[in-house]
Amino acid sequence: MPRPLRPIADGLIYHVINRGNNRQNVFETAGDFTAFLKAIADLKERKAFDLFGYCLMSNHIHLLIGPRKGSISRIVQSLLVSHTQRYHLFHKSSGHVWQGRFKSPVIQDDEHLLAVLRYIEANPVRANMVKQAGDYPWSSIGFHGLGRADPLVDPAPAYDALSPYAAVRQRLWRSYVDETCDEELAAIRRSTATGLPYGSPAWVEKLSKRTKIDLEIRPRGRPRKKAEE
């Protein structure tokens, strides 16, 4: 199916995913990871957006971004261009670093956001890179699950609502990230594959009317003909 238009409206949160060109690595060294995080920090000083979570993998990224002003496209393109320029400078390379159009399905700001945040921070565990999400250094799990200071991360209301006590929130989050839900995982992957929103049907319908964009998942193929009566 063709990719849907990106919904643009105040208060939306996007799950941004992009991969290296031809699935090649976009991070080769610890310095590459560190520089990308610094690029996010620098960009936050120039553009108004919240970062609710992230995970940087060797050949792709996951960012949970809520623009406060401006479009998601301008924010992400600025970040990708900055990384490309630095990558070529330090690795003496040229050409495309990232694949074409990045994906950015919209996420409902409730338990659906927590589910996507878990999906993002558990990525290294699913990839068999670490046994526990907290062992991976290039994600926001340190902030949410271990209480580490991370000036890049903005607290999400849904996360704060887990408990009024930081230590309890972190303990609950560690347990939550270690859990798996196949149905939830399939739904999030369907959202990332199609670019369609991840949220309740009522919320998706409301968003569709608000943005005047068809955001429903429809069955493939031609519609079936009605049986003759």
Q: Which domains does the chain have, with CATH numbers?
A: 13-201 (3.30.70.1290)
Percent of the chain topping pLDDT 90: 69
In whole angstroms, how far apart are CA 116 and each of 40, 85, 201? 20, 30, 17
What's the whole-model pTM score?
A: 0.88
If pLDDT is split at 50, 70 and 90, which confidence band does 180 have? confident
**In the predicted structure, residue 76 carries a pLDDT above the cut 80:** yes
Range with the lowest mean pLDDT among 8-17, 53-62, 156-165, 167-176? 8-17
User: Which position has the higher pLDDT, 209 or 227?
Assistant: 209
Q: In this predicted structure, what is the pLDDT of residue 226?
A: 43
Which tens digit of pLDDT belongs to each residue from 199-220? 999 998 888 887 767 666 544 4
**How are strands ordered across the β-sheet holding 60-67?**
49-56, 60-67, 13-19, 106-107
Provide the mean pLDDT of the chain. 88
- Positive/negative CA dihedral, 203, 204, 209, 210: positive
Q: In this predicted structure, what is the pLDDT of residue 62?
A: 97
Q: In this predicted structure, what is the pLDDT of residue 217?
A: 53
User: Which position has the higher pLDDT, 224 or 133?
Assistant: 133
Q: In this predicted structure, what is the pLDDT of residue 191?
A: 93
Q: In this predicted structure, what is the pLDDT of residue 228?
A: 38
**SS3 state of residue 186:** helix
Q: Which runs of E-coded beta strand occur in the chain?
A: 13-19, 49-56, 60-67, 106-107
Q: In this predicted structure, what is the pLDDT of residue 3?
A: 58
Which tens digit of pLDDT belongs to each residue from 123-150? 999 999 999 999 999 999 999 999 999 9
Which tens digit of pLDDT belongs to each residue from 20-61? 988 899 999 999 999 999 999 999 999 999 999 999 999 999
Long-range CB contacts (< 8 A, 24+ apart) of 84-88?
86/35, 86/39, 87/26, 87/32
Give ∠ CA 91-81-138 in degrees, rounded to 5: 70
